[in-house]
Amino acid sequence: MSGDKHSTYTPKTRIARWFDARLPLPRLVHDSFIVYPVPRNLNYAYTFGGILTIMLVSQILTGIVLAMHYAPDTGLAFNSVEEIMRDVNSGWLLRYLHSNGASFFFIAVYIHICRGLYYGSYKAPRELLWVLGCTNLLLMMATAFMGYVLPWGQMSFWGATVITNFFTAVPLIGDWLQQLLLGGFAVDNPTLNRFFALHYLLPFVLAGVVTLHIWALHVVGQNNPTGIEVKSKTDVVDFTPYATVKDAFGILVFLFFFAYFVFYLPNYLGHPDNNTIANPLKTPAHIVPEWYFLPFYAILRAITFNIGPIDSKLGGVLAMFGSIAVLFLVPWLDTSKVRSAVYRPWYRVLFWLFVANALFLGWLGSRPAEGAYVVMSQLATLYYFAFFVIAIPVLGLIEKPRRLPNSITEAVLEKDKASGRGPIAGPEAKH
């Protein structure tokens, strides 16, 4: 993927030479995952790309087997899931891996996004890389939402009702759009059928966009904690073994936490109401989405007032979709010449405030929509948007960044010196 002109691959056997002349797949793998140069200073925040890839593969594998046992029919769906839990060999494991897998997929993607925001990984020339990543987030959200509907419990049904009703807020074509999504006038069998079909399809679309994302990454190269571009050979190390081993270790630690939830707290992140079969005539007392949607849910509910011609319902829906849409614009909103928050004292403070605010929004999303919670949601929503449309553009113009090192190598050696470590630990000993 890094382009043939840099390729150092030399096929050693006759078969390898035969292949290389016809379909140079081994060359692609060699150039992309073995000798591919990565900055020498990548920290563990950079292992989440690998973790996400593993989670996507895991979700697809468990999902395919679950689909073999699941019945997408309103009369059968709930019981088929119960059968998976009780009668299918290791069905409980597959399902818990899959449902908790969705949660851990989101944990990883949120950390991955925050890492990108912190180190300025979206800035030129990585705008498309970032936009493809945002597209992946949207695909993940659509897939997760439709997957949550499939067990046909109370939360499945009412979550589907509320979310498909978002589309009725669209002027003129809203009702038509909602009926298209539902395949009728209320959430029912046609809805379940199409959600199942799309839930099976979208992960493969996601895999396609992930491929583009990795392709774009390998064209522009990885950013790194200093945000300084790679300038010389001493700034980089080979992907294998350096990044491979670091990624593998990150993945193992992550899977340890994942396994802990799967085996010891499998229902901790779920909602007990979803163990009750869907009832179209009764809404549960408190409906909440899955935890990974809570911040956006809080933003939706924060707009309780009309804004000019936009009524509160459309306003809430616009704010919620806007909170994702604004991510796409970040490369063009940021005016800073310096990428990494390491050298940006004010941005760093506002970034961590943004993270705390997003977690706070998540907590507010789990509270009932009344009294002080509404006001707090409104303030937190305000900061969420202000961070992107005010703080990011303005800070770049007024903030005085700290002195940047001349190169990644210099930054690493300075750090080693400061911590009393000699340069012998550096990977250049190998070259």
The residues of the shown chain that bind another protein, judged by CB under 8 A, are: 158, 161-166, 175, 179, 183-186, 188-190, 280-287, 301, 303-304, 311-313, 316, 368-370, 374
The string over 333-361, giving b where at least 16 C-beta atoms fall within 10 Å of a residue's C-beta and e elsewhere, is bbebebbbbbbbeebeebbeebeebbebb
Query: What does each C-alpha distance from 104 to 96, 209, 236, 370 come to in angstroms?
Result: 12, 20, 31, 30
**At closest approach, how far in Å is the CB of 185 from another protein?**
5
Query: What's the CA gap between 1 and 33, in Å, rounded?
Result: 10
> In terms of CB distance, is 61 or 162 closer to another protein?
162
| Residue for token pair 């491929």 | 211
3 state DSSP class of 310: strand
**At closest approach, how far in Å is the CB of 77 from another protein?**
15
**Is residue 106 within 8 Å of residue 295, measured between CB atoms?**
no
**At closest approach, how far in Å is the CB of 281 from another protein?**
5
| Residue for token pair 């802990």 | 260
**At closest approach, how far in Å is the CB of 349 from another protein?**
34
> In terms of CB distance, is 286 or 417 closer to another protein?
286
Query: What's the CA gap between 403 and 110, in Å, rounded?
Result: 29
> In terms of CB distance, is 176 or 249 closer to another protein?
176
Query: What's the CA gap between 239 and 223, in Å, rounded?
Result: 14
Region at 268 (left for phi over 0; alpha for psi -120 to 50; beta for the rest): alpha
> In terms of CB distance, is 161 or 409 closer to another protein?
161
**At closest approach, how far in Å is the CB of 339 from another protein?**
40
> In terms of CB distance, is 376 or 404 closer to another protein?
376
**At closest approach, how far in Å is the CB of 323 from another protein?**
17
> In terms of CB distance, is 132 or 160 closer to another protein?
160
> In terms of CB distance, is 285 or 398 closer to another protein?
285
**At closest approach, how far in Å is the CB of 205 from another protein?**
24
Which residues, including other chains, have CB under 8 Å from residue 112's CB and lie 6 or more apart?
Answer: 48, 49, 52, 133
> In terms of CB distance, is 25 or 375 closer to another protein?
375
**Paired tokens of 211:** 């491929």
Q: Is 128 exposed, middle or buried (0-12, 13-18, 19+ CB in 10 A)?
A: middle
**At closest approach, how far in Å is the CB of 172 from another protein?**
14
| Residue for token pair 């449309």 | 389
> In terms of CB distance, is 205 or 287 closer to another protein?
287
> In terms of CB distance, is 84 or 146 closer to another protein?
146
| Residue for token pair 């067990």 | 151
**At closest approach, how far in Å is the CB of 190 from another protein?**
5
**At closest approach, how far in Å is the CB of 277 from another protein?**
13
Which residues, including other chains, have CB under 8 Å from residue 195's CB and lie 6 or more apart?
Answer: 146, 149, 150, 160
**At closest approach, how far in Å is the CB of 76 from another protein?**
15
Nearest to 382 by CA among 291, 294, 302: 302
Q: How many Cβ atoms sit within 10 Å of the Cβ of residue 314?
A: 19
CA dihedral 325, 330, 333, 334 (to 10 degrees): 170
> In terms of CB distance, is 188 or 416 closer to another protein?
188
Query: What's the CA gap between 334 and 338, in Å, rounded?
Result: 10
